[in-house]
Chain A
Amino acid sequence: MSTIAIISSFADDTRCARAIEQLREAELGDFNTFSPIPSHKIEYAIGRSKSPVRWLVLAGGISGVLTGLAITIGTTYEWGLNAGGKPLVSWPPFIVICFELMVLLGGIFGFLGVLMLSGVPTTETAPGYDGRFGGDRFGIVVRCDEAQAERVESMLKESGAEEIVREDEAQPR
């Protein structure tokens, strides 16, 4: 009995998410999902644990705040300019700089974290990928035993798959 790949495409993420939920419930084989847009529905359906990127963003945000404090407090002490008789280290305007640097470094850390963790940029595409999955279609590629293929296909069709193609694992597209 050989393992085969079933490639299915969906017109919207609701149907795609429904198919994922059913595949997971039935525990039939292993599958990959392709989505042209970030979709919460698919994310919830896959049920993957939260991305570690958020910790990188937190680290970036905290270093941004610290950088902001260092720049503002450091430069005011360095120059010692008295503005309107206010104390040298007056926090209200520093909040703005700390906030902006928090957003900036948090964003940069998050962006680099995504690139690093997702292995982008890459020239290889995952097996079963189709150009349309980067356009206007959602795709699910299921790898399962040949014996279960019928069940998987009917399940995908029921969930609203537009097109279902069966391929031998040996010859990916």
Chain B
Amino acid sequence: MSSNLQLAHRKRAATKPQAVESVAGATMKAAAGAMIVLGAIAFVVALSRGRAAIAWEAYLVNLLFFLGVAQGAVVASSSFYLTQAKWGGSTPYRLGEAFAPFLWVGFFLFFGLYFGRSLIFPWVTHPIAQKAAWLNTPFLFARDGIALGAMAVASFAFIRVSRGDGARAWTIATDEIELPPHSIRVLAPVVAVLFAAVYSLIAFDLVMSLAPVWRSTLFGWYFFAGCFWSGVTAMALTAVVLRGRLGENNLFTNPTVMHDLGKMVFAFSVFWIYLLFAQYIVIWYGDLPVETFFIVQRVHHMPWSPLSVACVVLIWLIPFTLLMSVRAKKTPVILGTVSALGLAGMWLERYVLVVPSLSLDAIPFGATQFLISIGFLGVFLLSAVPGLNRVAQAATSGEPVGDDAE
């Protein structure tokens, strides 16, 4: 079945190349630019009107979310090399690397937190004596800055090789080339392992330290598993959107490729709930006030309780039930809807992780936080433009797809 599809795909693709500019071109750039301006205005207005805390909360939530999406997608691409995935030729790799420029943007935006540190980190104004050696401003910004910088450098070194001819030749060769180039076999595991270390650190420093007496050893894993899933989901959503925009000839019309993307969305949604439950059950059993309060604030305390439930519904329940069947994974409308809801759920999850630590009794979401989020989305989209064009090029190139597409 797959060989027939590939043949048909190749034949169709040979006839008519697509204008890639139509995918991520001037309109998208203009829209993203307008979103950035709106977000920046909202941020400045909030700072000048004494609503700085609300603005910085939104800044942190969005920084964590969009960095997670961009980095998670790059790690997905590196994990495709680790598993020697050939189910979509070079396109899934380009898809994972599409959002990467945001890594550098996020690196610089991270240092912006320095100016809001007294409003975000409770331990800046009320230092905790026992933890002062770890939780102090210079050390936090130095270690996290170095970590995010190293992550961006490693990711771009990886992407550079991945986009090269050697790696590309391997992704589209069905049998002839056994292994990807040596450099990518070194860089892909480096990116994956560094991701686990750096995003654990980010989780501890930028989320857990907001409630500085709380601790959960598994929290780092939980956080970066969420980042990875949001990256995978963003890839699936992008694939569904591009499927409709690239005309008849694109790879995303191949149901086996959509099936594979759907499997990724399904699988790592289950992984997320697994880590959530693994933390929850240990904290529940231990029943230590110093551990339980973090959960109680979010699960049993109004107004946060329904939002926490919504996270579980959007990130696990909906993907798990709707994407269980093969047909659903192959139906772009279902996969796209689940992915869009999943991304919304992941954003909400970041919000529920961060904001109750700073504003327990009321949800500060309003025009300011909405517009700042829109601004971040604009930055993210703008930085994804060149990458999306590469995806479009790969998806319409008609290159052969590996035999193991199922």
Chain A residues close to B by CB (< 8 Å): 14, 18, 21, 40-41, 44-45, 84, 86, 92-93, 95-96
Question: Residue B287 at the A interface, CB < 8 A?
Answer: yes
Asked whether B403 lies within 8 Å of A14 as measured between CB atoms, the reply is yes
Give the chain B neighbours of A93 by CB distance below 8 A: 281, 284-285
- 18 of the cross-chain contacts (CB-CB < 8 Å) are A14-B3, A40-B406, A41-B2, A41-B406, A44-B1, A44-B2, A44-B406, A84-B287, A86-B287, A92-B280, A92-B281, A92-B284, A92-B285, A93-B281, A93-B284, A93-B285, A95-B277, A95-B281
Residue-by-residue, is B1-44 near A (CB-CB < 8 Å gives 1, otherwise 0)?
A: 11110000000000000000000000000000000000000000
Give the chain A neighbours of B287 by CB distance below 8 A: 84, 86
Asked whether B403 lies within 8 Å of A45 as measured between CB atoms, the reply is no
Asked whether A45 lies within 8 Å of B281 as measured between CB atoms, the reply is no
- B404: min CB distance to chain A, Å: 9
| Distance A108 CA – B277 CA, assembled complex (angstroms) | 26
Give the chain B neighbours of A14 by CB distance below 8 A: 3, 403
- B203: min CB distance to chain A, Å: 23
Give the chain B neighbours of A21 by CB distance below 8 A: 1, 4
Q: In chain B, residues 246-283, which have Cβ atoms closer than 8 Å to a Cβ of chain A?
A: 277, 280-281
Asked whether A45 lies within 8 Å of B280 as measured between CB atoms, the reply is no
Chain B residues close to A by CB (< 8 Å): 1-4, 277, 280-281, 284-285, 287, 403, 406
Which of chain B's residues has its CB closest to A47's CB?
Answer: B1
Q: Which DSSP category, helix, strand, loop or mixed, fits chain B's interface?
A: helix
- B257: min CB distance to chain A, Å: 15
Which of chain B's residues has its CB closest to A14's CB?
Answer: B403
Which of chain B's residues has its CB closest to A90's CB?
Answer: B284
Known: A40-B406, A92-B280, A95-B277. A18 touches B285 (CB 8 A): no
| Distance A54 CA – B2 CA, assembled complex (angstroms) | 25
Which of chain A's residues has its CB closest to B1's CB?
Answer: A44
Give the chain B neighbours of A86 by CB distance below 8 A: 287
- A30: min CB distance to chain B, Å: 21
| Distance A18 CA – B1 CA, assembled complex (angstroms) | 8
Give the chain A neighbours of B3 by CB distance below 8 A: 14, 18
Seed contacts A14-B403, A18-B3, A93-B281; 9 additional CB < 8 Å A-B pairs:
A21-B1, A21-B4, A41-B2, A41-B406, A44-B1, A44-B2, A44-B406, A95-B277, A96-B281
Asked whether A45 lies within 8 Å of B285 as measured between CB atoms, the reply is no
- Taking a contact as CB atoms closer than 8 A, the residue among A45, A92, A95, A96 that contacts B1 in the complex is A45
Give the chain B neighbours of A84 by CB distance below 8 A: 287
- A54: min CB distance to chain B, Å: 11
- A38: min CB distance to chain B, Å: 13
Which of chain B's residues has its CB closest to A50's CB?
Answer: B326
Which of chain A's residues has its CB closest to B174's CB?
Answer: A14
Give the chain A neighbours of B406 by CB distance below 8 A: 40-41, 44
Which of chain A's residues has its CB closest to B281's CB?
Answer: A92
- A25: min CB distance to chain B, Å: 10
Which of chain B's residues has its CB closest to A99's CB?
Answer: B277
- A84: min CB distance to chain B, Å: 5
| Distance A93 CA – B278 CA, assembled complex (angstroms) | 11
Which of chain B's residues has its CB closest to A86's CB?
Answer: B287
Give the chain B neighbours of A41 by CB distance below 8 A: 2, 406
Give the chain A neighbours of B280 by CB distance below 8 A: 92
Give the chain A neighbours of B285 by CB distance below 8 A: 92-93
| Distance A40 CA – B403 CA, assembled complex (angstroms) | 12
Which of chain B's residues has its CB closest to A12's CB?
Answer: B403
| Distance A6 CA – B3 CA, assembled complex (angstroms) | 25
